[in-house]
Chain A
Amino acid sequence: MSLLKINDLKVHYPIRGGFFRGVVDHVKAVDGISFELQPGETYGLVGESGCGKTTTGRAIIGLNKATDGEILFEGTDLVKQKGSDRRKHVKDIQMIFQDPYSSLNVRKNILNIIAEPLRNFERMSPGEELKRVQALVDRVGLNPESIYKYPHQFSGGQRQRIGIARALTLNPKLIIADEPVSALDVSVQAQVLNFMQEIQKEYNLTYLFISHDLGIIKHMCDRIGIMYRGRFVEEGTAGDVYNNPQHLYTKRLIAAIPEMDPEKRFEKTHLRQSINEEYRTNYDNYFDKDGRMFDLKSISTTHSVALQ
């Protein structure tokens, strides 16, 4: 059974206007997407800013309300659950946030930051709690004495690892990582990515990895979903998407990755130009008359594309 199954998820925000501030239209941030996560895999959600990838992640964990659709976590629909019922399930889903500078409370020390989920969900004596936090802090490679320090005393990479420790406290099954490294330097980025791979094996985690960086997604993910304007454009294994992109938008995204071989820079520029040309001439083959993506059609067992 899949760990998480999203069925036709929609998140619409109302636009109010007119005389009585009535709802005149909707912003369709997420407009009917479906995908599945198998236990232990890393699923990448890619797209430009504003395509709805973060909204999807936040809807799953419950920070945004889903307008329509189902979020089946281990078979239970989280959209229908309310209050304490929902809490029981949501405990197994944790989130790592994008910006380690603003996602840690500056007025709490590391002990209180990491112990907060424990205090919310588990009854532990202060001694047990301390032991647990120290073990976690040690696991993420920080000095156990540093639990009495405050976030400003740490560097960006260390803070992000504190964020990861907080996400790990309740032994979650699914971690939603929303751009976990985009605020970090390259070398620190490598450190955090390596670490995420290590703990994935150790704690048997499933990741929903949200990023706009296709290089990182390729490195980390087993399967990838490409989003554009709130819809899925293409879905498949990393190999499917990178080696055999079918949709024009996917090709465009992949062509935008900077070329690491200086010899090939002209080819890359030409590739981009020809794709942009195709975008102008063949637009109608890829988008319907409202500029909306078509529904996904599978072209192999693992690979599906939004084509007519």
Chain B
Amino acid sequence: MTENLLFEIEIYRLYKEEVFLGNSVLEIENLRASFRIKGDYYAAVDGVSLTVHENEVVAIVGESGCGKSALALSIMGLHNLKTTKLEGQVNFQSQNLLSLSPAKLNKVRGKDIGMIFQDPMTALNPLATIGRQIEEPMDYHMKLSSAAKKKRTMDLLRRVGIKNEQRIYGQYPHELSGGMRQRVIIAIALACDPVLLIADEPTTALDVTIQAQIMDLLKELQNQIKSGIILITHDLGVVAEMADRVAVMYAGEVVEIAEVRELFMNPLHPYTRSLLNSIPSNMEAKAKLHVIEGIVPSIQNLDRIGCRFAPRVAWVPEEDHETNPQMHEVKPNHFVRCTCYKNFHFPEGRVGEKDYVAT
């Protein structure tokens, strides 16, 4: 077993080197997604730039309300365009997805971009059989005979680890457990051989053991299909196990991007460090967990001038922050926003949060 393990680690290293030479699948440039609230537009995703390469898992982490899902939905064009304004560029296969008409966009999403949704209980249509739901994207994007479709569906079900695919094919979602449903959703996302896969919290709604199974499945599939994956999650454990590169988001901005090992060994931005310190399994038993003061500001109340994390690290002197925070390349491929990471330390003896007062 150890030999096998060493071999795999070697393969992993080799393919890692390839990744950085690999082609980019998706290039997001200065993406801004603003929602209309009472006549004014407020940006939930505020100038995000991100590149996803072939065969690479890019994780996007942050608390709820940081704009992770809004980013994913912008890429897929799933926002309501009447109340949303999208600016910037999402370059995918040499076209800007934001400028495409819905008809053209429909040719891309579901085919070249697959999406895995968070809640397997609500993402499936309760009135259609599993087979029907996996074949649906094939109807739109591929010209296949019904026999070929069925064969392909059976293959997909086997690939996502469902053993009795004949039976599952004709069953309805309510007959399956949560883990099985999530596997079906992954099969739907993979139906037309996507080049890019967006997984929005794929394991959050699942039990621990099922979560482990789904993570292992995604890792295995990633090695087979060679597509880029955007993994959106708030669980740093899932990130540590799955990601190649990590982007930490706060209040609509990316505050730190680094390779996964670098990020966990040498986290720099105060927000990243606070997140890592607030996880129970990372700390000594019974030790105090770090609490990030305050909450993520809502997009209307967000102060868009200066470092957006500053109000939550009030003990950091003002001159440590930049007036107009930029991304700095601290090490090759390790970017951090703002300069406040330089002298950042956790205050001694400050535990809990007594003066966290309702507003």
CB contact under 8 A between A212 and B208, given known A187-B275, A260-B240, A268-B241: yes
Q: What residue of chain B has the Cβ atom nearest to residue A110's Cβ? A: B358
**A190 neighbours in B (Cβ, 8 Å):** 278-280, 289-292
Q: Whole-angstrom distance from the CB of A139 to the nearest CB of chain B?
A: 9
Interchain Cβ contacts under 8 Å between A and B, 6 examples = A141-B355, A195-B352, A218-B280, A260-B282, A261-B240, A269-B216
Q: What residue of chain B has the Cβ atom nearest to residue A274's Cβ? A: B1
A252, B64: Cα distance in complex, Å = 30
The residue in B210, B216, B238, B242 that gathers the most chain A C-beta atoms within 10 A of its C-beta is B216
A residues 113-142 in Cβ contact with B at 8 Å? 141-142
A260, B263: Cα distance in complex, Å = 11
**A155 neighbours in B (Cβ, 8 Å):** 295
Kindly state whether residue B331 has any CB partner on chain A within 8 Å. no
B342-355 Cβ-contact flags toward A at 8 Å (1 or 0) = 00000000011111
- Contact, CB under 8 Å: B291 / A194: yes
Q: Whole-angstrom distance from the CB of A110 to the nearest CB of chain B?
A: 9
- Contact, CB under 8 Å: A259 / B237: yes
A262, B237: Cα distance in complex, Å = 9
**A188 neighbours in B (Cβ, 8 Å):** 295
A146-B357, A188-B295, A193-B280 known; 14 new pairs, CB 8 Å cut-off, are A155-B295, A158-B358, A186-B279, A187-B63, A187-B292, A194-B352, A212-B207, A214-B281, A220-B280, A258-B211, A258-B237, A259-B237, A259-B241, A262-B240
A261, B236: Cα distance in complex, Å = 10
A238, B236: Cα distance in complex, Å = 23
The residues of A with any CB-CB pair to B shorter than 8 Å are 48-49, 141-143, 146, 149, 153-155, 157-158, 185-191, 193-195, 197-198, 212-216, 218-220, 238, 252-253, 255-263, 265-270, 272-274
A261, B240: Cα distance in complex, Å = 6
- Contact, CB under 8 Å: A253 / B209: yes
- Contact, CB under 8 Å: B288 / A194: yes
B residues 58-94 in Cβ contact with A at 8 Å? 63-64
- Contact, CB under 8 Å: A262 / B355: no
Q: Whole-angstrom distance from the CB of B63 to the nearest CB of chain A?
A: 5
A197, B352: Cα distance in complex, Å = 10
- Contact, CB under 8 Å: A260 / B237: yes
Q: What residue of chain A has the Cβ atom nearest to residue B355's Cβ? A: A141
**A258 neighbours in B (Cβ, 8 Å):** 211-212, 215, 235, 237-238, 240-241
Interface size on B, residues (CB 8 A): 53
Pick the residue among A157, A194, A215, A219 that contacts B351 (CB under 8 A).
A194
CB contact under 8 A between A270 and B5, given known A49-B207, A260-B240, A260-B264: yes
The total of Cβ contacts below 8 Å across the A-B interface reads 144
CB contact under 8 A between A255 and B234, given known A149-B358, A216-B280: no
- Contact, CB under 8 Å: A219 / B240: no
B269-294 Cβ-contact flags toward A at 8 Å (1 or 0) = 00000110011111101101111100
A120, B212: Cα distance in complex, Å = 45
CB contact under 8 A between A213 and B12, given known A154-B358, A186-B278: no
A146, B356: Cα distance in complex, Å = 12
**B158 neighbours in A (Cβ, 8 Å):** none
A268, B211: Cα distance in complex, Å = 13
A14, B343: Cα distance in complex, Å = 63
Pick the residue among B9, B282, B352 that contacts A198 (CB under 8 A).
B352
- Contact, CB under 8 Å: A256 / B280: no
Q: Whole-angstrom distance from the CB of B207 to the nearest CB of chain A?
A: 5
Q: Whole-angstrom distance from the CB of A225 to the nearest CB of chain B?
A: 16
- Contact, CB under 8 Å: A270 / B358: no
- Contact, CB under 8 Å: B237 / A194: no
**A218 neighbours in B (Cβ, 8 Å):** 280-281, 285
- Contact, CB under 8 Å: A153 / B240: no
CB contact under 8 A between A189 and B278, given known A155-B295, A194-B351, A258-B237: yes
CB contact under 8 A between A260 and B281, given known A187-B292, A253-B209: yes
A111, B175: Cα distance in complex, Å = 45
Q: Whole-angstrom distance from the CB of A210 to the nearest CB of chain B?
A: 14
Interface pairs A-B: 8 shortest CB-CB = A258-B237, A215-B281, A219-B280, A190-B289, A256-B212, A190-B278, A187-B292, A146-B358
A291, B297: Cα distance in complex, Å = 50
A258, B260: Cα distance in complex, Å = 14
- Contact, CB under 8 Å: A262 / B264: yes
A193, B352: Cα distance in complex, Å = 9
Kindly state whether residue B318 has any CB partner on chain A within 8 Å. no
- Contact, CB under 8 Å: B358 / A143: yes
Q: Whole-angstrom distance from the CB of A91 to the nearest CB of chain B?
A: 28
**A256 neighbours in B (Cβ, 8 Å):** 208-209, 211-212
**B281 neighbours in A (Cβ, 8 Å):** 214-215, 218-219, 257, 260
B145-185 Cβ-contact flags toward A at 8 Å (1 or 0) = 00000000000000000000000000000000000000000
A197, B291: Cα distance in complex, Å = 14
A103, B288: Cα distance in complex, Å = 27
- Contact, CB under 8 Å: A265 / B208: no
**A216 neighbours in B (Cβ, 8 Å):** 280
Q: What residue of chain A has the Cβ atom nearest to residue B64's Cβ? A: A185
- Contact, CB under 8 Å: B261 / A141: no
**B1 neighbours in A (Cβ, 8 Å):** 270, 274
**B260 neighbours in A (Cβ, 8 Å):** 262
- Contact, CB under 8 Å: B261 / A215: no
